[in-house]
Amino acid sequence: MPDPAPTTPTTSPAPPRRKHYDAFLSYSRSAEGDFVPRVQAMLRGFGKGAAGPSDDRDLRLFVDRSGLAAHPHLWLEIKNCLAASDRLIVFASPGAAASEWVDKEVRWWLAERSIHTVYIALTSGEIVFDHEAGRIDAAATTALPPALVEHLDREPRWVDLRGPRRDPARTNHPELPNALAELAAPLRGAAKEDVLSAHITAQRHLNRRARALTSALSVLLALSVVNGALASHSAEREAASSYESDAHLLAAASHASRAENPDVAQYLAAEAYHRAPGTQTRHAFLTATLDTSHDDQHLLRTVDTPGVTALAATGTGTVGRTATGGLLRWNPDDGDPEILPGASVTLTEPDPPAGGTAVAGSEDGRVVAAVDPAGVVLGRFPGGEGPLAGDGELVRLYRPLLDVAHDERLDPTGVAVTPAGDALLVTYETRGTCPGGAAHQVLRIALTGPDGDLDLRDVAARAHAFFKSPASRCTADPGTGAPVRAVAVDVAAAALRVDGSRRVIVADPRTGESRTLRLDTFAPSPGTPGQAPEGTVPAPSLVTWAGLAGAGTTTRVTLHHPMTRAGDGTPDTMSCPVPHGWDGSELAAVDDAGQRALVRTGDGLVACTAPRDMLWPRTRTWHLTGAGPDALAVLAPDDRVVAADGETLSLWRTTRESSDMDFPTGAAQDPAAAPVVASRSGDRLPEHAATTALSWPDGTVQVHEKGTIEVPGLDDGERLLPVWLLPSAETARTTQRDDGDLLLLAPDGRAWISGTDTLRPGPGGTLAPPAAPLAGFRDLLRDAHTAFTTTWENGGCLPRRLEDPDSVCPVLVSAHRAPDHLVLVDSTGGVYLVDPDLTGTARYIPDELGIGDPIAPPWDERGRVSVDDGGHWLAVAPRGRSLRVLDLTNPVPTWDVRGGAMAQVHLVPALWEGEDALPRLVTLAEDGSVRTGAVAEDGPLLPLLSPGSHGAVLAVLAEPGLVVRNEGRMLALFDIRSGARVGTIATSLRAAGDEPDPGTVHAAHGRLLLVQEHGVTISRALDKGEDTMLRQACVSAAPALTPEDLARLGVRHPTPRCRIVHTEGLPAFTDPGLLLPEARLAPLPFPPGP
């Protein structure tokens, strides 16, 4: 019987593999049916490889394209896909907000998953968060489904796709890479910068394949002239594409470098923007340039050190002695400090006298010497020429003498190094009695020989041999060329200096006595110096000495020049006002020319200057808040200040670009006090003309860098509107007045005039002479009403029309200087046009639209009136009434409604749109959003910024095109072109409550004025166009990055482009004659290859 056929074992079928998605894309098919699938296609492979070699797959993204609504088990299938997804991306739009399915999908997700796995991509509409209520503003929000409106209890972060959505056919929209990187980063588990870099690398590979294809086609079509031209055009397009890829890569590298090395980040961002100017690279450039994390506007940077116990300035930076026994050199333009490590000595160190030279360096800081309890530390940093150029050395002098008898000890008191670094000088005292009774010595030790630098170990050996016996310590070597020489002096010198003419100056800072010697012979130098008063501090040159007089805002630096002739043009005193509340003032430093001084207080440093090139000493001050009361501080070259505080070195810049003013007495005690500001600029201004005037609530008028103007006849607490009369336009039919350039207006039309360029500082900082009353100015305003039926009231009111009720009391609420006229606005919306020379008949234009409540003056409500710089347009935003504009050049001016009720309005030149572009209206709506539009366009103003978490501050800087909002006391900067946030400025804005007043921030003519807790900071750092900012960023990294540095980043065209400008989008070279070698730019580039 045959065997039965073998049976095949039965096995159960494997369960179906469950699908897995990285994200579920929830959207309205009716609103975004075409756009979202395109985003899915681009997002799928975006940033592949960002998380490492294992991240080599496309993202799995669920999108309902086929219409699951036709499926019999629709909701079950959607739930299965939701459950299989790691994250939910909601494409927010008005269509999504109205979609039942989008809301249902979101509700399921919030019930089953964390809200932190929900991401929002805004394609149209608005998302508004109510910070007071702590929830989404349901009435103002038009893009979110109800489920998100109900569950979001904090302001959500969303990816803005509105720009690409408005132009869906443009697959290379400049905002797309950044937006896709934000969405792809959490899906790939990588940083956004890594995702963007991976995308750029992938694009570069595609470009290479495209280039290969282009080359092949070029060969095949070489016989055709037309086809050859087409191939050439394609190659040009390919080259431009590769530059764009490089630019995006550099932008991502800039972002990654910001925290560790902000200077390099600026350089990389400038390189990116030079290669491909666009939204993304501009965003990277502005962020790298403007973003600051410290609230001191003058602070450039801080660096960590082992602790600095002595500090001195050199020709290129500073040198110091560290707490660990080493030496430090910091040339800020070359990067971080360099340190020669040493061994600390645990000996009691006497307190050195103020003004002593415990550390000194050569002009370039390469050779450094310092006094410490064990003697003298001498070091030479790498660099220079000769066989020792690449070595760093550090030795100790006198160390073998620590064990000698007490009466034979040598006590070094000061050191100096020649500017060239070829000799060291030491002043010291002997404990015993030298022959002849000499106890104070100056020692000179040669550091170089015929063959260049000497080994410092040999230098130390020579010094020790010279002091081998007590007699040699007290006897000068008769040979003038001896490598080690000593000479006795009759001054207990703790300060020592060698100048460029090889003259040695020794001084006792406690008594002011000084002597001069010739370096080569130690013979007395001609001339007998006088004696500086006790209590004064010498400048590094020991030529100028200075003391401190007065207190608070009347603090003065008194200058003495015992070694120079009297009447050499240097001011005898220099005002250096200390802010209210800053106590414990002492003079920390003064520079060699007596033009700059540094005052140390318990709250910070005060730097002040009185340049010699002015007819009289106009004061500039800077409040440096980052240093403690025990900080060591010096005045460094290039208008810089360096301070060592514990283990931190800080670097400030004190230039004309920014300076500070103290509060007047009346405003110092009122935290709510904010000024009304008048600012001016122009090529027709005198070189040293004042540019900013401030009027305070107590009636005080300050002129920046000048002082306080006295206004006679002003009632207590009466406010003034300042307005500059100059400059006038080149074509204006006006003449300059002889009696002043600053007009001060009371609300009732009374006026005073002051000539700020001729004022002189008097006692307490008050300028003389006082402002002069301007008789007849109210009559000038009255005569402007001859074409209208008015009444004239003298009881604090301007003229009013007869049809107005008796309760109407017009007063001036705004004064602006336009090129051809003064524009004055009263509380009824009426406009006066007055000739800048205050002659002729003024013109009055009433507001026929009706303003409701009177327009509030600027000290009560900021930003209600604005005039553009060209003087063509006026904008008024009455409370609760429509925004209206007036063309001042129209022979028959007519008010036009330009929008709804606004809280603030600003008219700014649209420099980013071209020279002939109309001014832009930038407004703060009553809901806190920012809207903008051309002044004469039809249609509503377009939203630029949503309300967010911003306060009431709104300022606009036309160059380089920034909108400034406050977030508490932090200022946020936004690109006026795209609304993208590009940086923050930390401040200490003054505030009576939780939120600063809008009047604490002013922007005009490129200057940003900040009313801070310690005083008023006026910064000119933002009054530059993009070209200037790019040039500055190009020199920020020192030394400049090389082509090899850029190639290591993956840049295909590594030649530094900081010397290249762009014309019509293609790279072109600048004039080599404009490139100065001292600018420290990258080497001259050569044209890139094809």
Q: What is the pLDDT of residues 416-451, one digit of tens each?
A: 999 999 999 988 877 655 555 557 888 888 998 888
| Alpha-carbon gap, residue 895 to 1061, rounded angstroms | 43
Share of residues in the chain with pLDDT > 90 (%): 16
Helix axes 1026-1034, 279-290, angle to 10 degrees: 60
Mean pLDDT (whole number) for 608-637: 76
Is 539 or 1090 the better-scoring residue by pLDDT? 539
Q: How confident is the model at residue 398 (pLDDT cuts 50, 70, 90)?
A: low
Q: Look at residue 308 and give its three-state secondary structure.
A: strand
| Predicted local confidence at residue 226, as pLDDT | 36
| Alpha-carbon gap, residue 440 to 417, rounded angstroms | 19
Q: How confident is the model at residue 1084 (pLDDT cuts 50, 70, 90)?
A: very low
Q: Look at residue 726 and give its three-state secondary structure.
A: coil
| Predicted local confidence at residue 625, as pLDDT | 84
Q: How confident is the model at residue 686 (pLDDT cuts 50, 70, 90)?
A: low
| Exposure b/e, 28-67, CB count within 10 A at least 16 = b | bbebbeebbbebbebbeebbbbbbeeebeeebebbbbeee
CA angle, residues 830, 692, 680, in degrees to nearest 5 = 65
| Predicted local confidence at residue 615, as pLDDT | 42
| Alpha-carbon gap, residue 498 to 541, rounded angstroms | 8
Helix axes 262-275, 1026-1034, angle to 10 degrees: 130
Share of residues in the chain with pLDDT > 70 (%): 77
| Alpha-carbon gap, residue 180 to 256, rounded angstroms | 18
Q: How confident is the model at residue 1025 (pLDDT cuts 50, 70, 90)?
A: low
* Gyration radius (Cα) of the chain, Å: 36
| Predicted local confidence at residue 751, as pLDDT | 93
Q: Which residue has the tokens 């760093």?
A: 392
Find residue 620's DSSP bridge partners.
609
Position 518, amino acid: R
Q: How confident is the model at residue 387 (pLDDT cuts 50, 70, 90)?
A: very low
| Predicted local confidence at residue 480, as pLDDT | 57
**Res 397 pLDDT > 90:** no
| Predicted local confidence at residue 1085, as pLDDT | 29
| Predicted local confidence at residue 230, as pLDDT | 36
Mean pLDDT (whole number) for 854-868: 91
For 247, residues 6+ apart whose C-beta sits below 8 A from its C-beta are 271, 272, 273, 275, 276, 278, 281
| Alpha-carbon gap, residue 641 to 651, rounded angstroms | 6
Please check whether residue 488 is in contact with residue 434, taking contact to mean a CB–CB distance below 8 angstroms: yes
Helix axes 279-290, 225-257, angle to 10 degrees: 30
Mean pLDDT (whole number) for 318-347: 82
Q: What is the pLDDT of residues 481-536, one digit of tens each?
A: 677 877 778 887 778 888 888 888 888 888 878 888 888 888 887 755 567 777 78
Please check whether residue 62 is in contact with residue 89, taking contact to mean a CB–CB distance below 8 angstroms: no
How many helices (H) and strands (E) the chain has is answered by 18, 69
| Alpha-carbon gap, residue 551 to 1054, rounded angstroms | 57
Q: Are strands 158-160 and 118-122 parallel, antiparallel or unpaired?
A: parallel
> Of 711-720, 1039-1048, 1079-1088, which range is least confident?
1079-1088
| Alpha-carbon gap, residue 744 to 721, rounded angstroms | 6
> Of 562-576, 810-824, 1066-1080, which range is least confident?
1066-1080
Sign (positive or negative) of CA dihedral 599, 310, 358, 314: negative
Highest mean pLDDT among 99-103, 970-974, 1029-1033: 99-103
**Res 390 pLDDT > 80:** no
- The CATH number of 21-190, from 3.40.50.10190, 3.40.640.10, 3.40.50.12280, 3.40.50.10140, is 3.40.50.10140
Please check whether residue 472 is in contact with residue 390, taking contact to mean a CB–CB distance below 8 angstroms: no
> Of 8-17, 129-138, 654-663, which range is least confident?
8-17
How far apart, in Å, do the first and last CA atoms of the chain sit?
Answer: 86
DSSP letter for 756, please.
Answer: G
Main-chain phi, psi angles of 602, to 5 degrees: -70, -10
**Res 621 pLDDT > 80:** yes
Q: Where are the domains of the chain?
A: 21-190, 345-530, 675-847, 1025-1090
Q: Look at residue 501 and give its three-state secondary structure.
A: coil
Q: Which of 971, 990, 965, 924 is nearest to 675 (CA)?
A: 990
| Predicted local confidence at residue 65, as pLDDT | 63
Q: What is the pLDDT of residues 60-93, one digit of tens each?
A: 999 876 545 444 456 777 888 899 999 999 999 9
Highest mean pLDDT among 165-169, 395-399, 833-837: 833-837
Task: Measure Cα distances from 773 to 166, 218, 403, 696, 749 in Å.
Answer: 58, 81, 79, 19, 12
Provide the whole-model pTM. 0.68
Q: Which residue has the tokens 């300028």?
A: 767
Continuous segment of H or E residues that includes residue 966: strand 962-967
Sheet (strand 545-549) strand order:
537-538, 545-549, 556-560, 573-575
| Exposure b/e, 199-222, CB count within 10 A at least 16 = b | bbbbbbeebeebbeebeeebeeee
**Res 814 pLDDT > 90:** yes
Q: How confident is the model at residue 1089 (pLDDT cuts 50, 70, 90)?
A: very low
> Of 139-143, 201-205, 905-909, 970-974, which range is least confident?
201-205
Q: Which of 145, 109, 114 is nearest to 127 (CA)?
A: 145
| Predicted local confidence at residue 472, as pLDDT | 59
Find residue 597's DSSP bridge partners.
590, 608
Q: How confident is the model at residue 389 (pLDDT cuts 50, 70, 90)?
A: very low
Q: Which of 635, 667, 666 is nearest to 653 (CA)?
A: 635
| Predicted local confidence at residue 411, as pLDDT | 74
Mean pLDDT (whole number) for 818-845: 87
| Alpha-carbon gap, residue 965 to 70, rounded angstroms | 49
Find residue 922's DSSP bridge partners.
906, 932
Find residue 772's DSSP bridge partners.
753
Q: What is the pLDDT of residues 164-198, one digit of tens each?
A: 888 776 666 767 888 888 899 899 888 777 787 77
**Res 829 pLDDT > 70:** yes
Length of the chain (residues): 1090
Q: How many CB atoms lie within 10 A of CB 401?
A: 17
Mean pLDDT (whole number) for 319-342: 86
| Predicted local confidence at residue 169, as pLDDT | 67
**Res 811 pLDDT > 50:** yes
Sign (positive or negative) of CA dihedral 930, 935, 941, 942: negative
Average pLDDT, the chain: 77
Dig out the tokens for 678 from the structure: 């008048």
Find residue 26's DSSP bridge partners.
90
Mean pLDDT (whole number) for 870-897: 88
| Exposure b/e, 283-298, CB count within 10 A at least 16 = b | bbbbbbbbbbebbbbb
Please check whether residue 662 is in contact with residue 650, taking contact to mean a CB–CB distance below 8 angstroms: no
**Res 1015 pLDDT > 80:** yes
- Assign 3-class secondary structure to 352-406: CCCCCCCEEECCCCCEEEEEECCEEEEEECCCCCCCCCCCCEEEEECHHHHHCCH
Q: How confident is the model at residue 698 (pLDDT cuts 50, 70, 90)?
A: confident
Q: How many CB atoms lie within 10 A of CB 451?
A: 8
Q: How confident is the model at residue 231 (pLDDT cuts 50, 70, 90)?
A: very low
- Assign 3-class secondary structure to 553-601: HHCEEEEECCCCCCCCCCCCEEECCCCCCCCCCEEEEECCCCCEEEEEC
| Predicted local confidence at residue 728, as pLDDT | 53
- Let me know if 696 is exposed, middle or buried by CB neighbors in 10 A (0-12, 13-18, 19+): buried
Q: How confident is the model at residue 217 (pLDDT cuts 50, 70, 90)?
A: very low
CA angle, residues 1035, 1051, 206, in degrees to nearest 5 = 150
**Res 1037 pLDDT > 70:** no
C-alpha 255: how far from its chain's center?
17
